Amino acid sequence: MKTLTSLFLLLTTIITSSAQIYQWRGANRDGIYPDKNLASEWDSIPPLVMTIEGCGMGYGSPTITPDGIFVAGMIDTLGYVFAYSPSGEKLWQVEYGPEYTNRFLGSRGTPTIEDGKLYYSGTFGDVICVNIKNGKLLWHKNIFDLYGGEPIKWGYTESPLIYKDLMILTPGGKDYNVIAVSKKTGKLVWTCPVDNAVNAYCSPVLIRHNNKDLILMNTSNNLLMLNPDDGSVYLKHALTDRRGNHPMAPLYKDDQIFYSSGYGEGSVMFTIDDANRKLDTLWQNPDFDCKLSGMTVVDGTIFGTADRKKQWMGVAWNNGETRFESRDIKPGSFVMADDKFFIFTETGEVALAIPDKNGFTITSRFMIPAQNIIYAFAHPVIDNQKLYIRYNNNIWVHDISDTTPQ
């Protein structure tokens, strides 16, 4: 009986720990979605299968699960998380607190969902956990009130990272720069005080380095690698730009880290010196200063947008050589699926592009049905061969499957 009980507990632990996470820029936070058999071009506008209206002002992407569509937005001055059925019917909404009403109105982050629970952090430090089946608020904490942080210039921006039983956040308070709380209760588990750094509009990512899980992220002062179990610093590297804006989470591959930031700061490729716990510079490219678009690697070329030059670029992973520059379409954000780029520009244009190591070819494009479009910052989402585009109060859902007869 003891053996059977132990086996049951082991299986339960395996099942629990392998619960799928639905989150910012896909399962691995890299903007790459698993969908296949997607069209290589569109005749005009791909079929519009659903429109969701009334989800409030905001810049965060929707999160799609088999249970429905979840998104944050601001109505009047209050922030809400909204839930819709897979067919678009509104199920519930939960208020989490005040939202940003200065320039760039509305919510920022994307909900993280795991095992029937939704986790979200608002612009003024309100962090919530909600049962996605019925919208019941399970807990609500304000991390600024608790840990001494305060809103940064353009509003605290972070899509929560879930690791095992923990939720990782960056309140930026004294002695509480980065924290982990229990995802079940919101209670503090560990804190990481690092140079009194604050949130840099960056959502952390999880990497595997030397057979260890590590958190990779930017704060206002540092590029960090942290042990997610206890918050200990594996490595920190000073970031010198005085604005403290480092929204793009670094890329990691083969013991190397690629960092890029806007405002002309540019890009750096580092190699990790594990013996001395530091980063050594391999190359730099001052022209590729990626701020908001996301970054993706295709055949050894890193793609994204250059902030200062307002253009799309691609640089070689191995030496930083510029391989591609284009103003064929306005800057924006993009994701990848089925070896294709899906672009959403800041001016409301949606495009399909085919990339290779030397650039990309735009095969189709259309404008969203909105007027006076500015600051269209929400990243596209792809799920079940459908493309989700969010602009403020609306989400448009297009069928992007390849319907060509086989």
Report the 3 state secondary structure along 356-392. ECCEEEEEEEEECCCCCCCCCCCCCEEECCEEEEEEC
Work out the average pLDDT over 125-147. 98
Summarize pLDDT for 151-172 with one digit per residue, the tens.
899 999 999 999 999 999 999 9
Whole-number pLDDT of residue 134: 97
User: How sure is the predictor about 207, in pLDDT bands with cuts at 50, 70 and 90?
Assistant: very high
Whole-number pLDDT of residue 15: 37
Whole-number pLDDT of residue 97: 98
Partnered with residue 364 across adjacent β-strands are: 352
- Distance, in Å, from the CA atom of 70 to the CA atom of 68, rounded to the nearest integer, reads 7
Q: C-alpha distances in angstroms, 249 versus 79, 179, 374?
A: 25, 17, 24
Summarize pLDDT for 226-254 with one digit per residue, the tens.
999 999 999 999 998 878 899 999 999 99
Summarize pLDDT for 82-108 with one digit per residue, the tens.
999 999 999 999 999 999 998 899 999
As a whole number, the mean pLDDT across the chain is 94
Share of the chain above pLDDT 90, in %: 90
More confident call, 380 vs 152: 380
3-class DSSP assignment, residue 102: coil
* pLDDT higher than 60, residue 4: no
CB atoms under 10 Å from CB of 185, counted, come to: 13
- Distance, in Å, from the CA atom of 361 to the CA atom of 217, rounded to the nearest integer, reads 32
Whole-number pLDDT of residue 240: 84
Name the residue with tokens 């629990």. Answer: 16
